[in-house]
Amino acid sequence: MGRERDLDPRSSAIAQYGYRLRHYRKKNDLSQDALGARFGVTGQMIGHIETAKRGTTLDMSKGFDKLFGLDSYFEELWWHVRREQTPNWFREYAEAESRASSIRLFEPLLVTGLLQIETYAREVLRAGQREDRLDDLVSSRLARQEILEREQPPWLVVLFLEAAVRRVVGGPELMRDQHQRLLDVAKQPNIAIHVIPDRARAYPSGGFTLFSFEDAADVAHVEGVGGHGRMIEQGSHVERLKVLFDLIRSEALPVETSAELIRTAMEGR
């Protein structure tokens, strides 16, 4: 309860979101559990949103508006939260990601952000961060996953090195949960996860992403250290990365075999 009293809605967009959600929930005489049940989440999750520890999704925000009879209030506030939590250097990437009809991603070192669970994301982002800033970074990363929950989500093809799947981040129990997340999302018809086995030929150690759109030319993003990645729009450079992606994918295991390798890693074999 102390955290509720301390939450200042003027301090940030996410604080305002949480403050107003708590206001409308109580105004409508709903408990956190009751509100969560309407949206398929726990009351604890609603509590995290109300105390600005977690972000939410665009669809859930629209649902709050419909439930409370509001005119796109939470929907519009959600966009402010998302922009506020996205670092300046990452906004161009996040914008492309939110608009893309298909995303092809080569991630050599870690599980990609779109598929991370909260505890994994927290461990990955923890280094050198204050706890309050870490909360913001984790919320921002998880909010990006909203695109996978849309009525028409993008196609997503992800290439992982086997080392990224077997790398232990935060302990065995955390990794079992992360592996289960990968296995669960791999069942979705718009998502293909391929693991590149250790025996495959060597490819660049840096990751990159290809974005395709229904109404614009493809673009790419090449990763860099400390936020120094760059977007690539020049057609010839993007085409070369497309070829490279296809070459890497040719070395990867099929989807079913990749899932079996992930399951093996989850079981510690």
**167 has which bridge partners?**
none
pLDDT in tens, 181-233: 999 999 999 999 999 999 888 777 689 999 999 989 999 999 876 656 788 99
Q: Are residues 127 and 188 in the same domain?
A: yes
Q: Are residues 127 and 50 in the same domain?
A: no
In single-letter form, the type of residue at position 128 comes to: G
Residue 121 is encoded by which pair of tokens? 């994301």
In total, how many domains does the chain have?
Answer: 2
pLDDT (0 to 100) of residue 98: 87
Last residue of a domain, one of 84, 106, 134: 84
pLDDT in tens, 97-153: 989 999 999 998 899 999 999 999 999 998 877 876 787 788 778 878 888 988 889
pLDDT (0 to 100) of residue 88: 64
pLDDT-derived band at 31, boundaries 50, 70, 90? very high
Helix (H) or strand (E) holding 231: strand 230-232
Q: Are residues 77 and 133 in the same domain?
A: no
* pLDDT higher than threshold 60 for residue 1: no
pLDDT-derived band at 3, boundaries 50, 70, 90? very low
pLDDT-derived band at 89, boundaries 50, 70, 90? low
Task: Name the residue range of residue 180's domain.
Answer: 90-266
pLDDT (0 to 100) of residue 87: 66
Q: Are residues 95 and 157 in the same domain?
A: yes
pLDDT (0 to 100) of residue 226: 60
Last residue of a domain, one of 38, 54, 84: 84
Q: Are residues 62 and 110 in the same domain?
A: no
Read off the CATH number of the domain in which 143 is found: 3.30.870
Closest CA to 136 of 15, 227, 39, 1: 15
Q: Are residues 69 and 116 in the same domain?
A: no
Per-chain mean pLDDT for the chain: 89
Q: Are residues 186 and 65 in the same domain?
A: no
Q: Are residues 200 and 248 in the same domain?
A: yes
Pairing relationship of beta strands 155-161 and 191-196 according to DSSP bridges = parallel
Residues 138 and 85: their CA atoms lie apart, in Å, by: 9
**Mean predicted confidence (pLDDT) in 79-104:** 82
Q: Are residues 17 and 75 in the same domain?
A: yes
Read off the CATH number of the domain in which 29 is found: 1.10.260.40
Q: Are residues 231 and 127 in the same domain?
A: yes
Token pair 């290809």 is found at: 210
Q: Is the pTM of this model over 0.75?
A: no
Closest CA to 252 of 161, 156, 123: 161
